[in-house]
Amino acid sequence: MQFRDLKSQYRALKPQMDEAIQAVLDSSDYIAGDQVEELEKELAEYVGVKNCVSCGNGTDALVLALKAWGIGAGDAVFVPDHTFFSSAESVAFVGATPVFADVHEDTFNVDVESMERCIQAVIKEGKLKPKAMVVVDLFGLPADYDKVLALAEKYGLYVLEDCAQGFGSTYHGKKAGTFGHIATTSFFPAKPLGCYGDGGAIFTDNDEWAALLRSMRVHGKGSSKYDNVRLGMNSRLDTIQAAVLQVKLKAFKEYELTDVNRVAARYTEALADCVKVPQIPEGYTSSWASYNILFKDEAQRDEVRAYLQENGIPTMIYYPKGLHQQKVFENCCLYGETLPVTTSICRRTLAIPVSPYLAEEDQDKIIRLIREKTGAKA
């Protein structure tokens, strides 16, 4: 059993996928082929924004967005403590300081009140200028954007929506990728929409930013290939990856999103009496990048994980430590927040296999084993 069943996905899409890849091989347009621009248009239409700018990976997408806003040394960017490293790494990479806020246990997403305390502490200290918030749609669920956008307006901050895990999810009828002033996604293979390698994209309704991003992703390109008007980077989406994503996007829209929600609903119904299951608030939908359960303590989590492993069930811990506990961020980036929720989640969380292609018999086995080991009634 795979943690995210990409083999079954390929088998289901093999005829279309092989044809799409072969078309790129036949054309030999490996860089900037027609499929790249076609995909950008398809993604922009699906998400509901004016501009989609593809790039090399999700981390580059974050870096490019921050650079488009001119964020750098002396700026503070507020980031949830419980998320993948790149959400904060990108901030530090452009020379700014990431400041970590706590999250909610029920949704795993940022606690806006904690983020506001961080903003106020930075303002009071007076050494850094608050500039932006990186808001992550973690594990497939959008953040509380009514509160996020109100906070951003109050303090005059940019909102950078990291929807790498939330692509396809919705918040009160709007899709993830539409809430930030700029939003980014990753096409890492295990993401809700993933390619066969690395890839990323940036979404925005701002035409000027989009033009700047298109320039910066190709070495600061101006009017032609060898006209460089600014410093940029080499971060293009390969044509083969664009072709792969065109096939996958069609399946994602037609049935994958529905099917993965069906799997998650079975888990929630079957496990809610023995572990803490993820909560989907009213008005939200999730794209289920992963299904994360919480145990009463670290010992129980580790016992269940070992039991699943003995029985051939792969699991992951998202994440073993908060960003403030990473060595590179030791003794910095904290402004009065002790981050107790993140610390607790890291000790108790476990992600179990979830995908649109997870067989019902495998779902049953996972449910049975967790119930057995937690002592739940049969």
What DSSP line would sit under 233-270, residue for residue?
Answer: -B-PPBHHHHHHHHHHHHHIIIIIHHHHHHHHHHHHHH
The answer to whether residues 27 and 232 touch, using CB atoms and an 8 Å cutoff, is no
Alpha helices, H only, 272-339: 298-310
Q: How far apart are CA 55 and CA 58, in angstroms?
A: 8
Cα atoms in the Cβ-side hemisphere of radius 13 Å centred on 348:
18
Decide if 1 is inside a domain. Answer: no
Q: Residues 218, 271: one domain? A: no
User: How does DSSP classify residue 284?
Assistant: E
pTM over 0.95? The answer is: yes
Q: Residues 259, 174: one domain? A: no
Q: Residues 160, 83: one domain? A: yes
Q: Residues 260, 122: one domain? A: no
Give the domain-ending residue among 217, 247, 277.
247
Q: How far apart are CA 19 and CA 240, in angstroms?
A: 11
* pLDDT at residue 101, as a whole number: 97
Closest to 337 in 3D by CA, of 102, 106, 124: 102
The answer to whether residues 350 and 292 touch, using CB atoms and an 8 Å cutoff, is yes
Q: How far apart are CA 17 and CA 2, in angstroms?
A: 20
Q: Residues 68, 154: one domain? A: yes
Give the domain-ending residue among 247, 276, 296.
247
The domain tally of the chain equals: 2
Q: Residues 294, 225: one domain? A: no
Q: Residues 271, 241: one domain? A: no
* pLDDT at residue 333, as a whole number: 77
Sequence letter at residue 161: E
The answer to whether residues 159 and 179 touch, using CB atoms and an 8 Å cutoff, is yes
Sequence letter at residue 288: W
Q: Residues 306, 206: one domain? A: no
Q: Can you give the residue range of the structural domain that contains 73?
A: 6-101+109-247
Give the domain-ending residue among 247, 274, 297.
247
* pLDDT at residue 332, as a whole number: 79
The answer to whether residues 199 and 56 touch, using CB atoms and an 8 Å cutoff, is yes
Cα radius of gyration (the chain): 21
CATH number of the domain within which 280 lies: 3.90.1150.10
The answer to whether residues 181 and 160 touch, using CB atoms and an 8 Å cutoff, is yes
Sequence letter at residue 369: L
Decide if 114 is inside a domain. Answer: yes
* pLDDT at residue 188, as a whole number: 98
Q: Residues 274, 348: one domain? A: yes
* pLDDT at residue 377, as a whole number: 80
Q: Residues 84, 136: one domain? A: yes
* pLDDT at residue 375, as a whole number: 87
* pLDDT at residue 354, as a whole number: 98
- Segments of the chain with pLDDT less than 70: none
Decide if 61 is inside a domain. Answer: yes
* pLDDT at residue 330, as a whole number: 85
Q: How far apart are CA 289 and CA 193, in angstroms?
A: 9
| Torsion region of 41: left, alpha or beta (phi above 0 gives left; psi -120 to 50 gives alpha) | alpha
* pLDDT at residue 334, as a whole number: 85
* pLDDT at residue 225, as a whole number: 84
CATH number of the domain within which 197 lies: 3.40.640.10
